[in-house]
Structure 1
Amino acid sequence: MTVVQVAKSKPGWARDCADGDGHLRPDGRDQYTISEVADFTGLSAHTLRWYERIGLMPHVDRSHTGQRRFSNRDLDWLAFVGKLRLTGMPVADMVTYAEMVRAGDQTFAERRALLESTRVDVLQRIAELQDTLTVLDSKISTYAGARSAPERTA
């Protein structure tokens, strides 16, 4: 049974029982197989192995048989990486950030600078999207008013 199937079938899994980031977690459980994590995150097992290989994922524990065992902390990290992906941050920058995290507290300033730079990029994208939304709303209003004025294409 996968983490997602458990989430749907176990009463202990609910949004109000979620961790601080809003991610569902099974009661008292902190070990997941790669297939469970793939189901839970929507990432493929190939992507999870690639993240580990390039250094984007911290060391993932292994069972006595060598099978990867992801923890809740790993899931939290993957959720954060997902947010970084949504910002459009290049993978190389995400790997650099992960390396800084592993290097310890002395990299706080560099990490903050990278995140602040990313924040500026996100704010610029939001402004562009807001402008695009305004144009779309204007077009929708035009069609809602059923005016038959010719549309400009240039």
Structure 2
Amino acid sequence: MESVYTIAEVAERTGLSQDTIRYYEKIKVLPPPGRSGNGQRAYSKPELDRVHFVAILKRTHMPLRSIQDYIQASSAADYDQCYSVLEEHQRLIEDQLAELTTALELMKYKLNNFQELKDGKFLDK
């Protein structure tokens, strides 16, 4: 028998709040899950995996509209569109990573300078 997860379990495993999961279902970022005999949300393992992937995409600051486009394309088996959405977001992440790397290097340089000033070493930089 396939494992079934409650919304509380999905929230715990994905790091999303139950309210966020419900909201994503409401705005159709996530398709609605199945229901248990008592009417509560019942998530299958593939549905749990989908929510987890959405949580990862959101943590990379992918806009909800792009996540929605990806999920719709995935559900329709439109793999070209899935690839396109993820490829575009990968480019954005790589650009952000390059900017952050530059900022980090500058931060390290400044911290080193201030440490030397604190230690009484005066630099001509």
Q: Distance in 1 between matches of 2:107 and 2:48?
A: 37
**Percent identical residues:** 32
Which ranges of structure 1 fall in alignment gaps of 5 or more residues? 1-27, 150-154
Other-structure match for 2:3: 30
Per the TM alignment, residue 135 of structure 1 is displaced from its structure 2 partner at its CA by 0.9
SS of the aligned residue for 2:37 comes to coil
Contact 1:55 1:98 in 2 (8 A): no
Per the TM alignment, residue 56 of structure 1 is displaced from its structure 2 partner at its CA by 1.7
Per the TM alignment, residue 60 of structure 1 is displaced from its structure 2 partner at its CA by 0.6
Other-structure match for 1:111: 82
Q: What is the aligned counterpart of 2:93 among 115, 122, 130?
A: 122
Q: Distance in 2 between matches of 1:36 and 1:108?
A: 30
Cα root mean square deviation, aligned: 1.8
Give the structure-2-normalised TM-score: 0.85
Per the TM alignment, residue 29 of structure 1 is displaced from its structure 2 partner at its CA by 6.8
Q: Is 1:58 matched with 2:35?
A: no
Other-structure match for 1:87: 60
- Higher RCO (Cα < 8 Å, 6 or more apart): 2
Give the structure-1-normalised TM-score: 0.70
SS of the aligned residue for 1:43 comes to coil
State how many pairs are aligned. 120
Other-structure match for 1:48: 21
Q: Distance in 2 between matches of 1:37 and 1:115?
A: 23
Q: Distance in 2 between matches of 1:145 and 1:34?
A: 53
Q: Distance in 2 between matches of 1:93 and 1:110?
A: 11
Q: Distance in 2 between matches of 1:83 and 1:37?
A: 14
Q: Distance in 2 between matches of 1:92 and 1:116?
A: 15
Which ranges of structure 2 fall in alignment gaps of 5 or more residues? none
TM-superposition CA deviations, 1:34-68 (whole Å, max 9, x none)? 12222222211111111112222233110111100
SS of the aligned residue for 2:4 comes to coil
| Deviating 4+ runs (over 3 angstroms) | none
